[in-house]
Structure 1
């Protein structure tokens, strides 16, 4: 086996042994499995309230949940990807970046025919393949859950859109893998390596959208993009500056279009471009990491 393939294989095995990523993985898979059932319970609750109001003559409007599409039941999955999935990616990346530094095996590994850039690229590839497998399993579970809730298999077009959602999630989460790896490669301690990317994640997902919009903070936990920010005043300026950097909102916007949310407007091109740009920047910084940084002493 050549050094590249051996590194990829070793990374897959090592990532599977770590307990914290295993815990986050179990939570992520579990929440994906129950996502459709949570959506179904929400629909039932609203329908009961509607039927009660209609029975008392308080409304003549049609039930807003009377005929929701099958993809409606996948909307909560978007939030689980933003929260649990991103944390899983960060922790996995940190563990990968820290593993050789803690074991002090880097010099031995690099005696093989593999440059530091090639070695780091192989490690990132191994994590990427493992994450792809996790998301593929999540997609199948989500499809099965939706089928169980609706009583029928979604149409081929809906299955294709659901597959596209998890493919987009893979690209989105790879940036957080890269963020975790960079912290693991450069931080002076394991605690700092975990804390720094989690702070960056919170800024990207929560702080930047708040700076660029006037929405209530709780609305950021909705699986759809918030209303457009006011086009005047301070939010007109901050929205233009922070909008492209709000990676979570870009992901939610593209996801809402894929899931055919009636409130979604615009196109997917801008959001996908931003996600790819973040990923390209993260991967570039990883492969540019030199041997000296990889051998930096830890102070745990």
Structure 2
């Protein structure tokens, strides 16, 4: 284990000097603060419109007053979650690629491989370092998110909200490890450095952007702002009755969506933060009962990605070049 931690320590030092990490953390911090600010401004706009409407009702002596809009603090994090979901995954691919590519680019790979390293020490050390770096980054942006909601968002967070933020942080950490480990394995198998990055970016493009977009486009309820059924004032029970006639189509559409690991991360995150309305203000036990399959799949995918990186990163594959 000594050689594994030696590689991990060396990798953490290299990553600490990488300017990309500073850019990543700074960008995510600014993006989260801005998204919380926009969400808060949107809520206050709705509140002002509500007050004007109530004032008009009062002047017309109407007693039918609608419920006031409510601010649910964790819903302000939607923009930040989407940044991690898309751009975080992209940067995880780039970081994973860089941990292998830099050794070949600098010519230090042959020197490292002269050391008596165990079979999985090199890949394991790099993955441990990446996991640690992502732990630090996720912890930092989680703290920023809490502070942003409490300050610029103007919303008070309860103890239950903080627990949900912690769950969200764990889910994000596992998701980012998946992408970095996958990128490490792909780069190790590539005969040419540029091919490793290109393949990693293509996988990211298909999994994060193309497949979820196909699923969203096939969903008729997403074709109208606010939802097709809501705009037609169709009740939930009637909506389910209508969709029952298209069960085969909906199964295919949902299958395309959930075949993307990005959708598993999104559904878990949106459920635990209450962004998905059906889970808003629900207990963790209720949410967990619905989200357990997604959590298992996300964890299994990350474990499989780590195993792939460990098996792919060998002396033979690292030294292999184009004929």
TM-score (norm. length: structure 1): 0.84
1:100-111 alignment, distance < 5 Å: 100-111=103-114
1:181-200 alignment, distance < 5 Å: 181-200=184-203
Cα distance in 1 for residues equivalent to 2:206 and 2:249:
17
Cα distance in 2 for residues equivalent to 1:186 and 1:38:
43
Question: Residues 24 and 189 from structure 1, CA distance in 2 versus in 1: closer, same or farther, beyond 3 angstroms?
Answer: farther
Cα distance in 1 for residues equivalent to 2:50 and 2:84:
31
Check the 8 A contact 2:7/2:121 in 1, yes or no: no
The aligned length equals 291
Q: Quick one: which of 264, 269, 279 aligns to 2:292?
A: 269
1:139-288 alignment, distance < 5 Å: 139-149=142-152, 151=154, 153-213=156-216, 214-215=218-219, 232=246, 235-239=249-253, 241-261=255-275, 262-264=277-279, 267-288=290-311
Quote how far apart the aligned CAs of 1:187 are: 2.9
* Structure 2: tracts of 5 or more residues without a match: 227-238, 280-286
Check the 8 A contact 2:100/2:188 in 1, yes or no: yes
2:31 alignment counterpart: 31
Check the 8 A contact 2:4/2:121 in 1, yes or no: yes
Cα distance in 2 for residues equivalent to 1:217 and 1:206:
19
Check the 8 A contact 2:96/2:180 in 1, yes or no: yes
Question: Residues 118 and 230 from structure 1, CA distance in 2 versus in 1: closer, same or farther, beyond 3 angstroms?
Answer: farther
2:43 alignment counterpart: 43
Question: Residues 216 and 248 from structure 1, CA distance in 2 versus in 1: closer, same or farther, beyond 3 angstroms?
Answer: farther
DSSP-derived class of the 1:95 partner: helix
1:157-198 deviations in Å (ceiling 9; x for gaps)? 111111110111000111111122123223344433333222
Cα distance in 2 for residues equivalent to 1:279 and 1:131:
14
Cα distance in 2 for residues equivalent to 1:216 and 1:12:
47
Whose radius of gyration is greater, 1 or 2? 2
1:292 alignment counterpart: 316
* Structure 1: tracts of 5 or more residues without a match: none
Cα distance in 1 for residues equivalent to 2:53 and 2:252:
42
Bigger shift: 85-94 or 34-43? 34-43
Check the 8 A contact 2:219/2:253 in 1, yes or no: no
Check the 8 A contact 1:94/1:181 in 2, yes or no: yes
CA RMSD of aligned residues (A): 3.1
Check the 8 A contact 1:250/1:274 in 2, yes or no: yes
Q: Quick one: which of 131, 136, 141 aligns to 2:134?
A: 131
Quote how far apart the aligned CAs of 1:107 are: 3.0
DSSP-derived class of the 1:288 partner: helix
Is 1:112 aligned to 2:136, yes or no? no
